[in-house]
Amino acid sequence: MGGYTLVTGGAGFIGSHAAEYFAGKGQDVVVLDNLSRAELLGKSDKNASYNWNYLKKIKGVKLIKGDARDSSLVEKLAKDASVILHAAAQTAVTTSVVNPAPDFSVNATGTFTVLEAARKSRRKPTVVYCSTNKVYGHNVNDINVKELKTRYAFNEKKIRGITETFSIDLCEHTPYGCSKLTGDLYVQDYAYQYGIRTGVFRMSCIYGTRQFGVEDQGWVAWFSIATLKGSPITIYGDGKQVRDVLFVTDVVKAYDAFIESSIPHAVFNTGGGPENTMSLIELLGILEKETGMRSKISYSDWRPSDQKVYISDITKIKKTLKWKPAISPEEGVKRIISWVKGNISVF
């Protein structure tokens, strides 16, 4: 194939795992990141450089501090890239509602900048886009659900999950959902208009080690960190919301399966699927079982466009890419607990 793999947002949670994975395969990897996560989320920057410093130790990874919206820089880096994995993003729903301008700039303009760089590149790199289940917005809540003891569930047994053909239109999304959907559609259209090879991964709840979850984003990691630190946890809604969860190393393997395939363009709903689901309340139970600890819990209003149940139908990605989740929620949470314990000083 030649060339290198360019990972935008490569010092972030998913990006850093992707960079580590591809370098581990003997590929040259260029990481582009502006280390703005703490600023975007309005949080302390004490752990902002954790993954950056982690990647410094990995052979084959080159780190460049810069912005995915910097067209001249991205075009320069794309010239010799065979793959661009676009993971740079503003990732928090509530943050997008409070301050929508940077959300649009990072998620929509940043994606357009990457696509233009790919279009102009002599190598015509494959582009992998980290999309989200939030592109389906409030339409998901139009599916009838039933309330059980610890979770909500789809009322109809025949509904295993949300497919790629589910409606993305005529509903509330939140600015985050809109900005990510903008990127999603642009990535698809650059495949149709310019022949760029693209893979769009509409991800459900991705979780794992080196995820600095906060109250606004990364709930599995946040609950784990808060539990081990003895910090209080606020649940927005009633805690019975259900997500299919996918460990980060599994999603990176899905990216690789697409890159190594001959598929010219595809959209995949990507998550743990019906066999790998958790509610917020159920996660607290797992954490208490594994740690013997339970944070003080309080409740607040539902967040905008929160989905009571979101489960990805992963039939297409399993069949097309010969891929499936390998790490169970219980095993994944154990790995997070171990990582947090070993790095408690950075939280």
Give me the active site residues, please: 176
> Of 224, 206, 30, 6, which Cα lies nearest the Cα of 117?
6
CA–CA gap between residue 222 and residue 291 (Å, rounded): 15
Asked if 29 and 61 touch (Cβ cutoff 8 Å), the reply is yes
CA–CA gap between residue 16 and residue 49 (Å, rounded): 11
Tokens 């408690």 belong to 344
Burial class (CB in 10 A: 0-12, 13-18, 19+), 50: middle
Identity of residue 184: D
CA–CA gap between residue 249 and residue 95 (Å, rounded): 26
Identity of residue 337: I
Identity of residue 155: N
Tell me whether strands 81-86 and 61-65 are parallel, antiparallel or unpaired.
unpaired
Q: Where are the alpha helices (DSSP H) in 205-309?
A: 219-229, 248-260, 280-291
Tokens of 57: 């130790």
